[in-house]
Amino acid sequence: MSKIKVSIIGGAGYGAAELLRHLIVRDDVEVLRVSSKDYIGKTIGQVHRSLFGLEKANIVIQDITPQECVDGADIVFLAMPHIITAKVAMELFETGVRIIDLSGDFRLENLEDYIRDYAPEHPCPERLGTFVYGMPELNEEAIKSAQYVASPGCFATGIAIGLLPLAKAGIITDGNVRTVAMTGSSGSGVRPIEGTHHPVRTNNLKAYKTLHHQHRAEILQTLGKAGAKNTSLDFVPVSAPLVRGILAVSQLDLPDEYSEADIQKMYEDYYAPHRSVVVMPLGQSPEVVAVKNTVRVEVGITVRIDELTGKRTLACISAIDNLVKGGAGQAVQCFNLMTGKDASFGLDQPGMWP
């Protein structure tokens, strides 16, 4: 069997751990090299404990140049923080290797959005808009032939998938979406910081970056590509006492001509081709534990008609694993599409219940 050769640059974090968890068990993939500035000389099994003892977990993490890391590779995954990633990517554009980037450096098309949300400047602003946005539920065909893919952010994935059918139908037009989304501590990365310290994270809930989270522009850009027009988003992220998972609750005013049954069918029709997305029956709400450790998404809707005003409110709820569908698992879905497979190839395992 001819194997697809891949490399990973930035092999020490949770994103890399998830990539490796999915890739090293596949017979059609050969992981050529893993590079990092941390844990040099250690095997991936020593660094990522869930891989320890596996047959292919003896790959040694190396401190090598990006060009050396991708030598002979068909596809490279970039699993580093923003800014660092863009600088590494600049060294790879002329090599011909296909790139899947897990950072936020190439998701946005507007430089002003990037400067406001990520950094005072972008290392290669001319490259903004040249990466295909790696959300199969929106860009499946474009991903298949893409040279460069920007894998979506975790909040952006969970929230946008909960709203895409409405954007396509033109319902998200000249209005405001209000979203509260709760996330697990792994979304903050492998390095401990004050806000993710266990004693203050467990048994606690707190809002942060209220109305100013960096994924807000990405969500609006994604919904705009799907068909939303002249829309604003009020987004409140919440730090939740769990390790994995995002539960997003979005609310918007629903035009009078749509019933709850209409919206339910709209969601079922939109996601019918995407088997990793499950539209819940009316009356049953998505839950994080049902999708934990998987690329699966649960989506559900509810409509309420106000007793006094008669106005309709639509609530859209979605649940994902932030490290899998919200991170490396979605990057693997893009990898699958780029190599001629179904997006969910090798990713069909159910969640862990309870």
Predicted confidence band of residue 191 (pLDDT cuts 50, 70, 90): confident
CATH code of 4-130, in short, is: 3.40.50.720
pLDDT tens sequence across 146-163: 999 999 999 999 999 999
Structure tokens at 68: 């050396």
Examine the pLDDT at 84 and tell me if it is beyond 90: yes
Q: Report the alpha-carbon distance of residue 21 to residue 58 in Å, rounded.
A: 13
Residue ranges of the domains in the chain? 4-130, 156-322
DSSP result, 156-202: HHHHHHTTHHHHHTT-SBSSEEEEEEEE-GGGG-SS--GGG-HHHHT
**Number of other residues whose CB lies within 10 A of the CB of residue 236:** 17
The CATH fold assigned to 156-322 is Dihydrodipicolinate Reductase; domain 2 (3.30.360)
Known catalytic membership, residue 69: no
Active-site residue, from 69, 124, 154, 334: 154
pLDDT tens sequence across 52-74: 999 999 999 999 999 999 999 99
What pTM does this model have?
Answer: 0.97
Query: Are the C-beta atoms of 227 and 167 separated by less than 8 Å?
Result: yes
Structure tokens at 238: 């919440």
